[in-house]
Amino acid sequence: MEKDLKPVIMVKNINKSFGENHVLRDFSMEVLPGENLVILGKSGSGKSVLIKCIINLIQPDSGQIIVLDHGINELDQDELDRLRAKVGFLFQSNALYDSMTVRENLEFPLRIHWTKEERAKNAENAVKEALEDVGLAHTVNMMPSELSGGMRKRIALARALILNPSVILYDEPTTGLDPITAREISELMVEVQKKYNATSVIISHDMNCIRITSNRVIMLIDGRCYADDTYDNLRLSKDPKIREFFD
């Protein structure tokens, strides 16, 4: 990775507490263009809170977050919505709209960010392309309840891709999936990253997923950045806290 590249995401000294529970403590990180950064940590270590702070679903108590050159806490609602169009988010629970078909789920983000004419002209192709990218073009008229766990994850990924995002945030993308499907999803994430030339931030504790997808891994322990290195270097580490994840 080139050192002079301007970071796509900059997180500077953020803190977040829920009551007495200090989830993030003075946490900082940078993500460079085209990078696949994995945030690794135990359950409750603040990974999901961090990724939700990046997209402003949760506001940090202090610190600054800059995404695609915009201070996320300084934007008004319209500016934030425009920025969010450039950021895809894959939720841990997939968050597909139960009452809508796959097509309607994918078209939902378009209704805000595209004009009526653009939708009439291009929505059909955009849906088709996004579904083909995840290998599920035949599910376009199905309801989410008719899909398996792995298929729902792929559809959720297709929905995150439909606006051609510059950044994709994945919140535990392989949680709850069998090892084979988890591997397929991990490989799909790498393919998608290459095709869309997107920057990815992946929250995970699935070591296989991390091995397949990551360029760099940040280890989050007690709300702080404990280690920041490649997967291979971390795997060879003798630090007992790091070894816990590999043994």
Partner 1 sequence: MKLKIPNIDKNQFLNEIGDIARFTARFFREVSKPKQEYREFINQCYWVGYKTLTLVGVTAFIMGLVLTIQSRPTLVEFGAESYLPSMVSVSLIREIAPVITALICAGKIGSGMGAELGSMRVTEQIDAMEVSGTNPFKYLVVTRVMAATLMVPVLSSLANAISLYGGYLGVNIRGQVSWHLYWFQVFGVLDFSDMLPSLVKTFFFGFAIGIIGTYKGYNSTKGTEGVGRSATTAVIVASLLVFIIDLIAVQITDILGLT
- 120 vs 207 by CB, closer to partner 1: 120
Q: Distance of CA 79 to CAs 108, 174, 240, Å? A: 19, 31, 44
Of 97 and 246, CB closest to partner 1: 97
Query: Nearest distance from residue 144's CB to partner 1, in Å?
Result: 10
247: helix, strand or coil = coil
Interface with partner 1 in residues 224-243 (CB under 8 A): none
Tell me the residue length of the chain. 247
Strand, coil or helix: 220: strand
* DSSP class of 170: E
- Between 93 and 148, whose beta carbon lies closer to partner 1? 93
Least distance from partner 1 to the Cβ atom of residue 181, Å:
20
Give the β-pairing of 70-71 and 21-31: unpaired
Contact between 82 and partner 1 (CB under 8 A)? Answer: yes
**Which residues is 89 bridged to in the sheet?**
169
Dihedral angle of Cα 152, 158, 160, 163, to the nearest 10 degrees: -160
Count Cα atoms within 13 angstroms, Cβ side, for 85: 13
* Shortest distance, position 169 Cβ to partner 1, whole Å: 9
| Contact stretch for partner 1 (CB under 8 A) within 21-29, 64-72, 79-87, 174-182 | 79-87
Whether the CB-CB separation of 70 and 20 falls below 8 Å is answered with: no
Least distance in Å: CB of 246 to partner 1? Answer: 30
Considering only the stretches 88-96, 201-209, 226-234, 235-243, report the one whose residues sit in contact with partner 1 under the rule CB under 8 A: 88-96
- Contacts of 76 by beta carbon, 8 Å cutoff, 6+ apart: none
Choices 9-17, 22-30, 108-116, 225-233 (CB under 8 A): range interacting with partner 1: 108-116
- Please report whether residue 96 would count as binding partner 1 according to CB under 8 A: yes
113 binds partner 1 (CB under 8 A): yes
d(CA 156, CA 153): 5
Residue 97 is a binding residue for partner 1 (CB under 8 A): yes
163: amino acid identity, one letter: L
120 binds partner 1 (CB under 8 A): no
Q: How far apart are CA 150 and CA 170, in angstroms?
A: 15
The site string for partner 1 over 40-69 (x = CB under 8 A, - otherwise) reads ------------x--x-x------------
Where along the sequence are the contacts to partner 1 (CB under 8 A)?
A: 52, 55, 57, 77, 81-82, 84-85, 87, 89, 91-93, 95-98, 108-109, 111-113
